[in-house]
Structure 1
Amino acid sequence: MSISKRRLTKELREIQARPPAGIQLLDGETLDHWTLSIDGTPDSLYTGERFTLHFRFGDNYPIAAPEVTFALPAPVHPHVYSNGHICLNILYDQWSPALTVEAVCLSLQSMLSSCTAKAPPADDQAYCAKRVRSPKQMMWMYHDDSV
């Protein structure tokens, strides 16, 4: 079994046995694509809301980050495009093999909970018009980590 498959099998067992609060595995039938839900945290703009995430894992996971997108409708957030793509540095150039699916979900919950105003990214329409199939095909620029 490859390193990737061993790591994913271990993470899958852990998230099934002990899911973190507000995170639920919806589908992990195959090791290359998982669907999870995350709940908005209490006392945030997203309280009571639930969002679905798709994780797609390549053969070089965990060395390379998974592709992570929100299912539609995506949350309205300055770092989440209306097509579900997420601008978050740990999903791209700040990825570390030490990160896990659980850590990514918790980071996304934290990103949502720190938001002070529901608004799409300033370039949402232009970005979505490009019809980029995978967010991993983009060169992201991170100029605001406050939300």
Structure 2
Amino acid sequence: MAKTLSSVAQRRIQSELTEWMRSPPEGCCLESCEPMTSWVVVMQGPEGHSRLYADEVFRLRIDFGEQYPLDPPDVVFLAPAPIHPHIYSNGHICLDILYSGNNGGWSPALTMSKVVLSLRSMLASATEKKKPPGDAEYCARVGNRSPKLSRWQFEDDKV
């Protein structure tokens, strides 16, 4: 069932899609954008100083809501999610720019190109592959519901 988008959301998503096609973010390509409200992005693992993810490929799903860009989209890694201290096994990502309210750092000025580059940077700065504390419990509790329904604590700015 297709979502009903505000005219602002429709124009913004179309504008971002056009810009993405003209100049895709480094290491990323758009696998799908049908319907326009749900993108699947293929992301090459970054070749940062640790090279932990350099030979890996990941997929992200971006689901835009009717109030985008005022509200952030749902952004999750599709299985298998990277093993990373801020990425849960169900693909949920603990990164402040993906959330509004409760110390979230979402801004309507962010674009999906900037978001995926931030995610690649987060992977590049990792010093070890490990799951977040409480990964199994979190995944069992929330399942596949929207990560925006979780109460995130953004305390670790090192990774």
Q: Given the two structures, how large is their TM-score scaled by the length of structure 1?
A: 0.96
Unaligned runs of 5+ in 1: none
Q: CA deviation at 1:131?
A: 2.9
Which residue, 104, 124, 140 being the options, matches 2:135?
124
Alignment pair present for 1:90 and 2:97: yes
Aligned residues: 147
Looking at structure 1, the residues matched to 47 and 125 of structure 2 have their Cα atoms a distance apart, in angstroms, of 11
How much identity, in percent, do the aligned residues show?
Answer: 48
Looking at structure 2, the residues matched to 138 and 41 of structure 1 have their Cα atoms a distance apart, in angstroms, of 27
| 2:71 aligned partner, one-letter code | A
Q: Indicate if the aligned counterparts of 2:26 and 2:117 stay in contact, CA closer than 8 A.
A: no
Mapping of 1:64-143 within 5 angstroms?
A: 64-92=71-99, 93-132=104-143, 133-143=145-155
Moved over 6 A (4+): none
| 1:48 aligned partner, one-letter code | D
Single out whichever of 108-117 and 20-29 deviates more from structure 2: 20-29
SS of residue matched to 2:33: strand
Q: CA deviation at 1:53?
A: 0.2
Looking at structure 2, the residues matched to 122 and 45 of structure 1 have their Cα atoms a distance apart, in angstroms, of 19
Which residue, 15, 33, 51 being the options, matches 2:20?
15
Q: Given the two structures, how large is their TM-score scaled by the length of structure 2?
A: 0.89
Q: RMSD of the alignment, in Å?
A: 1.1
| 1:46 aligned partner, one-letter code | Y
Q: Deviations over 1:4-54 (max 9, x none)?
A: 000000101111121122010000122210000111112421002110000
Structure-2 residue corresponding to 1:60: 67
